[in-house]
C-alpha cells in the first residue's frame, strides 16, 4: 500500500516534465502542536473486588517533531506540485482523579489518580499543490494537500495511584499499579487529514531555496477504529523549514518581436569543390551543344499505379507531344519519359520490356503489375504501339535497387523500368543552339540568414536582370543554402548586373528585406573579334547515369560515350570531367565515389584522346545538380558531366 501511494505521487509529478522550470528537492524539518480530543473510558484493575470505569475526556496539547523529504515541480509561474514523505509523532498524556468507596458505602474513602501515556508515530505521505501569485506578494505561496499517515507505533499504558483518605485502608506507601494496554486494544488506524497552509520562499544561493512554512492538519479519521480509541482525533498545527536544491536558470526577459535578414555570398565552387566568393559573372556568346540523359525509370507514390505528378507529365493528355519542343533541362526532359519512348516506338519496329517494381516493404506485388500495365496501356492507346511489341514483368525490388533502409531509397524503388535491345529508344536528348549565352561560373550559391525572436512565416529570394525574373526561391522556416544553376540563355546579352532580393516575414508580421547585385562582364561575338579573343565551342554531356552506390559504366552508357562524346573531340580540345553524387550517404564517401565515376569515364575516353588534356574532378554532393527531394533528381545526380572545350582558331 505504501509503495503504491508513493509511486503514484512520483508518476503524477512526471506528467509535467515538459515545463521550463527545474525540479527542486530536499528536506523538511519542524515541530508540531498536537491538539488531542479524547472521549473514551478505561477500566482499570479492580481493587477489593470493586469494578468501575475511568473516563478520559479532557482535551490537551502535546508537542512533537516532523521530518522528511520534499520534492517540488512547478507547472508554471502559479502552480507547483509538491510531494512529501516523512515521519511525525503525536505523543500525549491524559490524566484523571477518581474518588471511590472501598466497602461500597456512600463514604469516599479512597482517591485514585489515573494517567494514560501514549507513544504514537506515523510514516506520512502528502501529495499537494503550492499556489504562487494568488496574493500580490512575491514568493508567498498557499498550500493544499492530503496527508496520508501509516502508523509506526501506538504504545499506551496507564498508571493507577491509590491513596487513603479516612483511614479505611492502611497503606504505606500508597498502592501503585501500572499496566500496558494490550496491542489488540491499541490498534492504530491509517490517518487521513486535509492540509492547508502557507509558506514563503527565499533564494539563499543560485541553486538553493529556503521555505518557512505553516500548515494546519484537519483529521477526517480517528486514532483507532477499535472501540478503545474510536472517538480520539488529533488536529495538528505545524511549523517547519523546507530546504531544497534545483538547477535554476533565470527566466529570460521577453524580447519584443524583431526580424532582420542578411545574405552571405554569392559563392561558387572550384574544380576541387572548394567554395570561393564570386566577384562577377562572365557571360559569353558561344555555340553550345548539350546532351541530356534519358532515365529508363518512372516513379510512383506508395501503393499507386499511376505515375507521380511531380516527376512525370503525361503530355498526350494535355496536348500534342514533340521531342523538338523539350526544354533544355534534364529534369524537364525526364518528366516526359513515357512520351519520349512512345514517340520513338511509334516510328520504329522495336520491342520493349516494362518491369514494375515495389519498395519491398508494405507494397504488394500486384501493385508492381498494375504499374507496368499502366505504362503498356498508355503506349498502346496514345501512340498506337502494337501490344505484342511490349512485354510486361513485375517483381518486388528492382534488380539494381536503391538502399531499402532509408526513405529516399525506398521511394526510388517504387518504379517501372524500361529495357530494350534498341539503344535508340533510350538515346540521350541532344539540343544544339547557336549563339547562346553561357555563364561562368555556372553555379552560384547564396547563404541567406534570418534573425528573429519568433517563427518564420515565409521568405522569398528573387534573382532578376533588367527587371526580368530569372530565378525564384520561396519557403517557410529557416532557409537553407540556395544554389542557382545558371542554364544556357538564362542571362541576357548585356552588361546589366544580376540583382537579387531576399525578403522574410515572421508570424507576428515583422518583416525585412535586403538586396544585392553581381556585376556581369558580357562577351559578344563582335567583342571577342575586336579584342582578338579566341572564340570557342563548348559541348556539354550529362549522359552517363550510374547505378546507386556504383562507379561502373553500363554497356549502354559506353555506347553513348562512343557515339556522342568521342566524335566531338579534336586534337586541341580540353576535356573536363566532373563526377557527382546524390545526397544519400556520407559527404566524404560520396566525394570519393564521384571521383571514381569521373576516373572511370576518363579511362574509357583516353584511348580515343591520347593527345588531349583530360582533367577529372570529384565534386560529390557539394553541388546539388538536381532537386534531391525528388527521386528523379537523385538518380540524375549520380552522374558525370563532360565538357569538351574546343577553340575555333
The 10s digit of each residue's pLDDT in 416-435 is 999 988 878 888 887 766 66
Check pLDDT > 50 for residue 6. no
Relative to beta strand 390-394, strand 613-620 is: unpaired
pTM: 0.50
Check pLDDT > 70 for residue 444. yes
356 with 369: CB under 8 angstroms? yes
131 with 166: CB under 8 angstroms? no
Relative to beta strand 390-394, strand 352-356 is: parallel
Classified as helix, coil or strand, 41 is strand
Q: What angle do CA 264, 268, 269 make, to 5 degrees?
A: 130
Report residue 231's pLDDT band, with 50, 70 and 90 as the boundaries.
Answer: confident
Superfamily of domain 252-292+428-533: Immunoglobulins (2.60.40.10)
Domain ranges of the chain: 2-92+116-150+186-245, 252-292+428-533, 294-427, 534-649
Backbone angles phi, psi at 480, to 5 degrees: -90, 180
pLDDT, one tens digit per residue, over 348-382 is 889 999 999 999 888 999 999 999 999 999 999 98
Mean per-residue pLDDT, 159-171: 56
Mean per-residue pLDDT, 6-34: 63
| Nearest partner of 640 among 597, 608, 607, judged by Cα | 597
Distance CA 220, CA 235 (A): 9
Of 528 and 437, the structure prediction assigns the larger pLDDT to 437
* Helix%, strand%, coil% for the chain, nearest 5: 20, 45, 35
pLDDT of residue 23: 84
If you ran DSSP here, which 8-state letter would residue 37 be given?
B
pLDDT of residue 530: 46
pLDDT of residue 101: 61
Check pLDDT > 50 for residue 104. no
CATH classification (class only), 2-92+116-150+186-245 = mainly beta
Distance CA 599, CA 617 (A): 8
Distance CA 214, CA 241 (A): 9
* Shared fold status for 2-92+116-150+186-245 and 252-292+428-533: no
| Nearest partner of 527 among 350, 285, 183, judged by Cα | 285
Report residue 20's pLDDT band, with 50, 70 and 90 as the boundaries.
Answer: very low
pLDDT of residue 416: 94
Check pLDDT > 60 for residue 212. yes
Check pLDDT > 50 for residue 106. no
Check pLDDT > 60 for residue 526. no
pLDDT of residue 418: 94
Check pLDDT > 70 for residue 10. no
Mean per-residue pLDDT, 377-406: 91
pLDDT of residue 222: 87
CATH topology of domain 534-649: 60s Ribosomal Protein L30; Chain: A; (3.30.1330)
Check pLDDT > 90 for residue 51. no
Of 171 and 267, the structure prediction assigns the larger pLDDT to 267
pLDDT, one tens digit per residue, over 468-510 is 999 999 998 888 888 888 877 788 888 889 999 999 999 988 9
Q: Which of 241-245, 256-260, 525-529 has the highest mean pLDDT?
A: 241-245
Average confidence score pLDDT of the chain: 82
What is the share, in percent, of the chain residues with pLDDT greater than 70? 83
Check pLDDT > 70 for residue 323. yes
Three-class secondary structure assignment of 409-433: HHHHCCEEEEECCCHHHHCCEEEEE
Of 362 and 47, the structure prediction assigns the larger pLDDT to 362
Check pLDDT > 70 for residue 185. no
Distance CA 203, CA 205 (A): 6
If you ran DSSP here, which 8-state letter would residue 563 be given?
I
CATH topology of domain 294-427: 60s Ribosomal Protein L30; Chain: A; (3.30.1330)
Give, in order, the Cα–Cα distances in Å from 310 to each of 307, 331, 341, 363, 429. 9, 11, 19, 21, 21
Q: Which of 102-116, 210-224, 249-263, 619-633 has the lowest mean pLDDT?
A: 102-116
Mean per-residue pLDDT, 35-60: 72
Sign of the CA dihedral running 143, 144, 150, 151? positive
pLDDT of residue 1: 45
Amino acid at each position: 500500500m505504501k509503495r503504491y501511494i508513493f509511486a503514484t505521487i512520483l508518476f503524477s509529478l512526471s506528467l509535467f516534465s515538459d515545463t521550463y522550470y527545474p525540479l527542486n528537492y530536499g528536506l523538511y524539518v519542524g515541530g508540531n502542536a498536537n491538539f488531542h480530543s479524547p472521549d473514551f473510558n478505561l477500566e482499570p484493575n479492580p481493587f477489593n473486588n470493586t469494578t468501575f470505569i475511568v473516563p478520559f475526556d479532557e482535551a490537551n496539547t502535546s508537542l512533537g517533531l516532523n521530518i522528511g523529504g520534499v520534492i517540488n515541480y512547478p507547472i508554471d509561474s502559479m502552480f507547483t506540485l509538491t510531494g512529501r514523505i516523512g515521519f511525525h509523532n503525536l505523543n500525549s498524556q491524559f490524566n484523571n482523579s477518581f474518588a471511590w468507596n472501598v466497602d461500597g458505602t456512600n463514604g469516599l474513602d479512597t482517591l485514585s489518580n489515573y494517567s494514560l501515556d501514549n507513544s504514537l508515530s506515523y510514516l506520512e505521505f502528502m501529495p499537494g499543490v503550492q499556489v504562487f501569485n494568488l496574493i500580490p506578494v512575491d514568493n508567498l505561496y498557499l498550500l493544499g494537500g492530503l496527508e496520508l499517515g501509516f502508523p509506526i507505533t501506538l504504545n499506551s499504558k496507564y498508571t493507577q495511584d491509590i491513596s487513603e483518605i479516612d483511614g479505611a485502608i492502611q497503606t504505606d506507601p500508597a498502592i501503585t499499579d501500572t499496566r500496558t494496554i494490550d496491542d489488540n486494544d491499541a490498534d492504530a488506524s491509517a490517518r487521513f487529514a486535509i492540509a492547508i497552509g502557507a509558506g514563503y520562499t527565499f533564494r539563499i544561493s543560485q541553486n538553493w531555496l529556503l521555505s518557512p512554512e505553516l500548515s494546519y492538519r484537519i483529521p477526517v479519521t480517528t486514532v483507532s477504529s477499535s472501540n478503545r480509541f474510536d472517538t480520539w482525533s488529533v488536529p495538528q498545527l505545524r511549523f517547519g523549514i523546507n530546504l531544497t536544491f534545483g538547477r535554476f536558470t533565470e527566466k529570460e526577459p521577453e524580447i519584443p518581436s524583431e526580424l532582420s535578414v542578411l545574405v552571405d555570398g554569392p559563392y561558387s565552387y572550384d574544380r576541387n569543390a572548394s567554395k570561393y566568393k564570386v566577384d562577377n559573372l562572365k557571360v559569353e556568346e558561344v555555340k553550345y551543344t548539350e546532351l541530356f540523359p534519358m532515365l529508363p525509370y518512372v516513379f510512383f507514390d506508395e501503393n499507386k499505379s499511376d505515375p507521380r505528378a511531380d516527376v512525370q507529365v503525361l503530355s498526350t493528355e494535355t496536348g500534342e507531344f514533340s521531342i523538338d519542343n523539350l526544354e533544355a533541362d534534364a529534369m524537364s526532359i525526364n518528366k516526359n519519359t513515357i512520351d519520349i519512348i512512345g514517340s520513338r516506338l511509334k516510328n520504329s519496329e522495336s520491342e520493349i520490356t516494362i518491369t514494375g517494381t515495389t519498395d519491398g516493404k508494405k507494397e504488394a506485388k500486384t501493385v508492381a503489375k498494375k504499374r507496368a500495365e499502366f505504362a503498356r496501356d498508355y503506349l498502346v492507346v496514345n501512340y498506337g504501339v502494337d501490344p505484342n511489341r511490349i512485354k510486361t514483368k513485375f517483381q518486388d525490388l528492382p534488380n539494381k535497387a536503391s538502399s531499402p533502409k532509408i526513405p529516399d531509397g525506398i521511394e526510388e524503388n517504387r518504379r517501372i523500368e524500361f529495357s530494350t535491345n534498341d539503344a535508340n529508344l533510350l538515346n540521350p536528348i541532344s539540343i544544339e543552339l547557336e549563339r547562346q549565352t553561357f555563364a561562368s561560373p555556372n553555379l552560384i550559391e547564396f547563404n541567406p540568414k534570418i534573425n528573429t525572436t519568433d517563427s518564420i512565416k515565409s521568405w522569398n529570394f528573387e534573382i532578376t536582370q533588367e527587371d526580368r525574373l530569372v530565378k525564384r526561391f520561396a519557403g517557410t522556416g529557416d532557409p537553407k543554402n540556395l544554389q542557382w544553376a545558371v542554364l544556357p540563355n538564362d542571362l541576357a546579352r548585356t552588361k546589366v548586373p544580376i540583382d537579387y532580393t531576399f525578403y522574410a516575414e515572421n508570424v507576428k508580421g515583422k518583416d525585412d528585406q535586403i538586396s544585392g547585385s553581381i556585376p556581369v562582364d558580357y562577351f559578344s561575338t563582335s567583342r571577342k573579334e575586336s579584342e582578338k579573343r579566341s572564340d570557342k565551342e563548348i559541348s556539354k554531356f550529362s549522359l552517363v547515369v550510374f547505378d546507386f552506390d556504383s562507379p561502373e559504366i553500363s554497356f549502354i552508357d559506353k555506347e553513348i560515350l562512343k557515339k556522342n562524346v568521342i566524335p566531338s573531340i579534336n586534337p586541341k580540345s580540353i576535356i573536363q570531367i566532373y563526377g557527382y553524387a546524390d545526397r544519400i550517404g556520407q559527404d566524404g564517401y560520396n566525394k570519393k565515389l564521384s571521383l571514381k565515376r569521373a576516373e572511370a569515364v576518363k579511362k574509357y575516353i583516353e584511348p580515343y584522346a591520347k593527345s588531349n588534356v583530360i582533367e577529372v574532378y570529384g565534386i560529390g554532393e557539394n553541388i546539388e545538380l538536381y532537386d534531391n527531394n525528388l527521386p528523379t533528381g537523385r538518380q540524375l545526380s549520380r552522374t558525370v558531366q563532360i565538357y569538351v572545350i574546343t577553340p575555333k582558331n
